[in-house]
A and B are shown apart, each in its own frame.
Chain A
Amino acid sequence: MKSGEKSKIFRRSILDGVSFALFVSVILSLIFNPTDEELLNLELISIIFFGAMLAGAVLSHVLNIAGYKTFGENLFEPAYVKAQSEAKAWYNTFWGWHLFTTILVLFIVGIFKSKFSMYELLDEDGFEGAKRLFKGIFSPNWAVLPAAVMNIIETVFMAFMATILAIPFAFILSFTAAKNIMKHPAAYSFYMFIRTLLNVTRSIEALVWAIIFSVWVGIGPFAGMLALMIHSIASLTKQYSEMVETVSEGPIEGVQSCGASKLQTIWFAIVPQVMLPYISFTVYRWDINVRMATIIGLVGGGGIGTMLIKYQGQAMWPEVGTIIVVIAAVVWIMDQASAYIREALK
């Protein structure tokens, strides 16, 4: 069996298994109607869920052998098989109904889980509260404008420093995270290590990094900057290294044929090819960092976010309104400026 076939069956089994386990869980909770207390029994719940998932994987295998193409099979089958299969309307296929039922069940469960309620949305008391809030926000208190401007400047610089300090790290790491450079077996294991490290770092939200650093270095813009920097290094390295992987081979061969060393080859054949996209990604990262810096301020990362959470906690809506106006203006300006700069760099 080819490895592609194996990984297809693996993915299909997980997807179909999860979908079947979902059906089983819903049916079981309809029959037994468990209390909240009973639902906290994680051990039992996991046994039921993963058991159902396993059964689902087996069922999916049986169905596919019997000629009923499940959603998992249809999604993960190789492109050439997809291209050969005849086009049918979704309601004439087994996988179509499988997908439809899954989404429908997910939607119904979602309504309960998110406590979706038209009643709450249109409740008179709640509506009055919202009206008060909007009234406050739409009559901003301009007295806090100077403080808001000072704080947003702090936020912008926090984002700027995070971006600038991330560049050298990301620049160097990007080459070690590019498959076409790290071909040698020893280099490849280092590449795998860096990739894993980056993925783990990126999967921890900047918000979480901010919480960590606000304990480490104390609440304030420094903590926010460090959090954004860690996140920027991981994101920029990924974007940079993807650019390195798409460079054209010609100049590399040309420079190598002159007897260039590895470092010379990277510097003269690869760097000129990736420079413009690097700058473009970096400008965009600064733009993203300004927006993230605002959010990070909410958990003690300093800047405008910290100011916002302070006034929000005291329900001082006119002041909150001023802050929102300032944030919106700066985010809009950054967004436009970065778009124009990136356009010019193409």
Chain B
Amino acid sequence: MNATIEPQRPWVYPQEGDDWQSIAAREFPGRTVEDAVADLQSWNLYLVFRPAPAMMTCSDIVFTGPPPT
């Protein structure tokens, strides 16, 4: 069976040097960065609350959509 498996939620990996703003601008080009960042952060609280000095890494998962209802 080779059909593509659809992810349960949309997500991306951060690119090196990314922050919330750069991910927002790339993933949501039709929206204001401010609004898109607010949504991104609400969908990724585990990254928002990650204690310093731990940072976002290229192996992290960043959800680009809300949890399934």
Chain A complexes with chain B:
no
Residues of chain A touching chain B, judged by Cβ–Cβ distance below 8 Å, are none
